[in-house]
Structure 1
């Protein structure tokens, strides 16, 4: 949720009339550009863990949404990754704050370690599931957040528990930064999300086609759950493009079960963003490893899009999913559903 949370915070700051700067690692409809230097003292920066890039900042407020197993091709082990995250949160300025989403267990552990090392840092927690400084509860897309100062009510355009988690963390960071919580929640109700995050491709012949950036098992499961929340009566079909052969290999335990909420899964040729090392799994192998539902290897983006369209039923929801170029499948599906072949 780094990109979405960054965009949420920047959107709320700017909606308050402040010319806050921002650096967002994705395209967001509410922003004309990825980055802008504002005249306000606040800059909202998306910090990336790959290559330890997030060690180069000294934030007044650090936000930690999770510490999932990822980029292990670079870090080598989960322990090394967690040590890098601990160093990131340790870069907070004296008497600064860490806002942490404690629904992610490793993030909560890192916050506890920081509290021991840096008594000067204020630890602020946010959760959808358990007691926290900012506890968000919802009914559909509306929510209530219990905060140290009272209850804040709001709504989101995007469905899913993970979006509510993002909102809870964003509201916590905004209040810690001195912004008005209810006004921030009002701004989040107008937030239009981030491209490739639960983004609608279109609808044709009662088949809805979405695009989502999910490429980690936790993200895949969350995106499918959000789809079920928004469209409970539709059959969910996933076209999944693995992102690198090595990531598929070291996350295979999660990939075996994370698609369980879908009704059908097609795996698409792997997006090989980085070089092969010899310890990998390709997309066809991934399909054979998925426990449920039974997955089918579908080949290239074009081949998988055509296969999904040809097997679609009225009432289906098709999600193109992955961090590579799988978004190109959406227009092919829409076109083929419309009879243009």
Structure 2
């Protein structure tokens, strides 16, 4: 009997329930017959809509008194580990698990596959949900569209967004993995490229003999891992893909289609984006490896129907001649990929970017990269660096000012000032792209509302 089956009919309480992984997980667990409630801060998050649609009850604030006395298990976001709140919850006798440890418990009793990589793992899991919809999916988003969150009553297969931060993915018992790409990120934890690659090596070391491993091969760090796998884990059926020469599957991107050598013919691209299409290809290769290799064209065709994930190159709406787009890109390489996709999809249109940096440590470590990539927009407006539940010891206020100065871009301390100024600057034909962390996606709707008020 699986860990999840044993939880049916029991009461779970999720601390940090509005988190990007926690909220979709709460809804999926509820649909599997598990009672779920939780708590979080009063700050508004996009995931509140997910919780409302799933009829999940949650409370504002962090107090042990909010936890129902009959709760069988308290699951808390890793951001709240070692906090006085969680310590008090444990003292009161509640059984507790961090959300990575909870996911690890699931992976111990259900055949589970990890989707990892510095960029693209969320999109790749979403693509797999289109290809193998009968599985359980645990990741930090959900498919775009209505009724996007589903869950099987008795899952036989699970796909997990396996994040490298603090080596969380080493907790999971995986039967195989997709590693989309590797770059240095999370500088508050990893000191550089070598430490990042070493973390992924440890992930691969834990895979059982004969486990399928699919790796994107375009970044230098990815190639370092691939060479190591070929030397140290020859028992793994490794498959590589990418746009660079030397991969097992070589992608060439057209405008609406792509080819994937050595396969014959072309395939419809779900997006006019090389980055997103690569993620779909990686997902199809993993799905094919898990089932039957001759099914690869079938999964690529299913990938063409992938609607995309919430907050990933998401077309929000069009109003008064302006197109509003949102993307979670918060690393220079992700920003580059989004701007390239925008230029391909909307040629000759002015690109207005509203960027919300995520964590001071990342901004400091990749400062030059942020300046280089954000400069590729036509008009840039900055928000102060978004703070995180994890403390990284950097001066976010000073760094925000430095970034604005280097980019010669206005920095808007208040949301209201940003909305008013952007509303004045936008012209018909513009693309208004909210990019980065926090609740930046909400700004687009507020700007459109302000423009309506200006037009009477």
Deviation at 1:208, TM superposition (A): 0.8
Alignment partner of 1:3 is 2:119: no
Q: What is residue 262 of structure 1 aligned with on the other side? A: 377
Q: Find 1:145's aligned residue among 244, 260, 265.
A: 260
Paired position in structure 1 for 2:391: 275
1:295 alignment partner in structure 2: 409
Q: Is the 8 A contact 1:3 1:26 kept in 2?
A: yes
TM-score (structure 1 length as normaliser) = 0.90
Deviations 1:133-170 (CA, angstroms, capped at 9, x unpaired): 222222213222224xx336322332211012112211
Report the 3-state secondary structure (helix = DSSP H, G, I; strand = E; otherwise coil) of the residue aligned with 1:296. coil
Tell me by how many angstroms 1:301 deviates.
3.0
Q: What is the alpha-carbon distance in structure 2 between the residues aligned to residue 86 and residue 99 of structure 1?
A: 14
* Counterpart residue number, 1:200: 315
- Taking only aligned residues, the RMSD between alpha carbons, in angstroms, comes to 2.1
Q: Which residue of 1 aligns with 2:449?
A: 335
Task: Work out the CA distance in 2 between the residues paired with 1:38 and 1:219.
Answer: 36
Q: CA deviation at 1:38?
A: 6.3
Unaligned runs of 5+ in 2: 1-119
Instruction: Evaluate the alpha carbon distance shift between residue 130 and residue 308 of structure 1 in structure 2; reply closer, same or farther with a 3 A threshold.
Output: farther
Partner of 1:158: 271
Q: Does 2:335 align with 1:216?
A: no
| Cα pair distance change 1:155/1:107, threshold 3 Å | same
- Do structure 1's residue 324 and structure 2's residue 449 form an aligned pair? no
Q: 1:278/1:40 Cα in 2 relative to 1: closer, same or farther (>3 Å)?
A: closer
SS in 2 for 1:119: coil
- In 1, the alpha carbon distance for the partners of 2:358 and 2:324 equals 21
Partner of 1:122: 237
In the other structure, the counterpart of 1:13 is: 132
Is the Cα contact below 8 Å between 1:269 and 1:301 reproduced in 2? Answer: no
Q: State how far apart, in whole Å, the 2-side matches of 1:219 and 1:226 are.
A: 11
Taking a change above 3 Å as real, the CA distance of residues 136 and 317 of structure 1, as seen in their structure-2 partners, is: same
- State the Cα distance separating 1:78 from its structure 2 match: 3.3
Distance 1:30 1:185 in 2: 21
Q: 1:168 — aligned with what?
A: 281
Number of aligned residue pairs: 332
Aligned-partner Cα distance in 2 for 1:81–1:116: 19
- Cα gap change, 1:22 to 1:67, in 2 (>3 Å): same
Matched, 1:59 2:174: yes
TM-aligned CA deviation for residue 39 of structure 1: 4.7
Q: 1:11 to 1:296 in 2, by over 3 A?
A: same
Distance 1:123 1:203, change over 3 A: same
Instruction: State the distance in 2 between where 1:31 and 1:129 align.
Output: 37
1:75 aligns to what SS in structure 2?
A: coil
- Call closer, same or farther: CA 1:307–1:129 in 2, change over 3 Å: farther
Distance 1:112 1:41, change over 3 A: farther
* CA distance 1:51–1:266, shift in 2 (3 Å): same
Question: Residues 120 and 38 from structure 1, CA distance in 2 versus in 1: closer, same or farther, beyond 3 angstroms?
Answer: farther
**Which shows bigger deviation, 196-205 or 213-222?**
196-205
The answer for the alignment partner of 1:92 in structure 2 is 207
- Work out the CA distance in 2 between the residues paired with 1:195 and 1:215: 15
TM-superposition CA deviations, 1:186-217 (whole Å, max 9, x none): 21121110111111221122111111100000
CA distance 1:241–1:168, shift in 2 (3 Å)? same
Question: Unmatched 5+ residue regions in structure 1?
Answer: none
Cα distance in structure 1, aligned partners of 2:280 and 2:144: 17
2:351 corresponds in structure 1 to 236
CA distance in 2, matches of 1:79, 1:38: 42
| 2:405 equivalent to 1:285 | no
* 8 Å contact from structure 1 (residues 128, 161) kept in 2: no
Contact 1:236 1:319 in 2 (8 A): yes
Contact 1:309-1:337 within 8 A present in 2 as well: yes
Does the CA contact (< 8 Å) of 1:221 and 1:258 recur in 2? yes
